[in-house]
Amino acid sequence: MPSEPRPLPDPDTACEPRRIDVALGKRSYPIWVGAGLLDRAGERLGPLLALPRVLLVTDETLIATGHVERLERSLTAAGIALHRLVVPAGERSKSMTVLGDLLERMLALGVERKMTVIALGGGVIGDLAGFAAAVLLRGVDFVQIPTTLLAQVDSAVGGKTGINARAGKNLIGAFHQPRAVLIDTSVLDTLPRRELGAGYAEVVKYGCILDLSFFEWLQTGAAGLLAGDEEARVRAICRSLEIKAEVVAQDEHETTGHRALLNFGHTFAHAYENIAGYGGTLLHGEAVSVGTVQAARLSAALGHAPEGDAERLRAHLDSLGMPTEPRHLREEGFKADAVLEAMSRDKKVEGGRLTFVLWRGIGRAFVDRTVPIDALEALLIEHDRVG
């Protein structure tokens, strides 16, 4: 259940938002982070729009929270005309059927090349609406207004958009960078605790891959962040985004391997998700939580990093009630052979080799395509035990 709503911040007294820039030459864009930004979206976005007419894509759950209305009021006050397009909430909306229907509805409204698509929602809405914007009239502008912690620290930035295929998740998509990302931290007040925790796994990931001091701050700051402390939220979101923006600026299309660092824990996570199915029983961030601990353990088993660092990560996630063992994700755990099989089907497999992001310790991740299968199998078997 969503937590008790708190009074909305007063838009006139809310402090100036923090700004982070994603440096991509002509396609560079700002990310604004602050409490109450939804109520000032019109004035912030107005100057960026080629036409004051937008297609607002959102889901049914967001309407129930009142966030859609807040955004619409602000856009209308700034003289921006809008069309609201609603899709069902949840992963199933990242489908050909929903995409096709959404595009037809947009075209039926008489879209013009200069209109802007706004995605208001979690990663599902951002990925779907972003992909629709990428292919509508061969590409229209779009703006991300992410409303889950996961989307705020991860999916809304970086330009990856897409939908799922029968063969797997995110297999149909495009790189399409937003024109701007607007993050209102106050929308997290209505986010269910389980979703918040799942998003937190991606926050920790940034500390794990590139920033030991951020990880150390999280060891004390995370409790406040999860409890809704405004300063902790802004600090954690901004630091996460600075790291993501930097990585994306260096390797926008994931060609040099640097962007792959963002997949720390994800080779494991994708395998768990693939086996459990995408029906909502297992959240992506929960799988990532376990995946990061497994990647840390594998690094230690291969002699790349001290065992103590894996233990430090596990203890931190454990202290917040996050899953750290495969059996925490589902009672029966995951059999080693099934995980290995799922890993070999992952789209990240290159030339038959599994790609892992490992670390030399907290904050020092690297990509490894030479992980011996027997070491991996031994780890999977060891953590397969149920009970």
The contact set with ligand NAD (CB under 6 A) reads: 2, 59, 61-62, 65, 89-91, 94, 121-125, 127, 147-148, 150-151, 154-155, 158, 160, 169-170, 187, 190-191, 195, 284
DSSP state, 350? B
CB atoms within 10 A of CB 5: 11
User: Active-site residue among 16, 26, 138, 166?
Assistant: 138
Nearer to ligand NAD, 124 or 380 (CB): 124
User: Active-site residue among 70, 244, 297, 314?
Assistant: 244
User: Active-site residue among 239, 259, 314, 383?
Assistant: 259
User: Active-site residue among 263, 273, 297, 316?
Assistant: 263
- Residue 304 catalytic? no
- Residue 202 catalytic? yes
Residue 213, CA distances (Å) to 50, 170, 207, 233, 245 in order = 41, 32, 7, 17, 18
Nearer to ligand NAD, 177 or 190 (CB): 190
- Residue 44 catalytic? no
Angle between helices 96-108 and 123-135 (to 10 degrees): 60
Considering the complex, what minimum distance in angstroms separates the CB of residue 235 from ligand NAD? 19
Write out the two tokens for 20: 């982070």
Nearer to ligand NAD, 190 or 300 (CB): 190
Question: For 158, left (φ over 0), alpha (ψ -120 to 50), or beta?
Answer: left
**Can you tell me the distance from the alpha carbon of 82 to that of 296, in angstroms, rounded to the nearest whole number?**
47
CB atoms within 10 A of CB 184: 28
For the beta sheet containing 180-184, the strands, ordered from the edge strand earlier in sequence to the opposite edge, are 18-22, 29-34, 180-184, 141-146, 116-121, 53-59, 81-87
Nearer to ligand NAD, 178 or 333 (CB): 178
User: Active-site residue among 202, 230, 242, 273?
Assistant: 202
Tell me how many degrees the CA angle 248-251-254 measures, rounded to the nearest 5. Answer: 100
Considering the complex, what minimum distance in angstroms separates the CB of residue 113 from ligand NAD? 24
Cβ(141)–Cβ(159) under 8 Å? Answer: no
Considering the complex, what minimum distance in angstroms separates the CB of residue 370 from ligand NAD? 26
- Residue 377 catalytic? no
- Residue 274 catalytic? no
- Residue 266 catalytic? yes
Nearer to ligand NAD, 312 or 348 (CB): 348
Catalytic residues: 138, 160, 202, 244, 254, 259, 263, 266, 270, 284
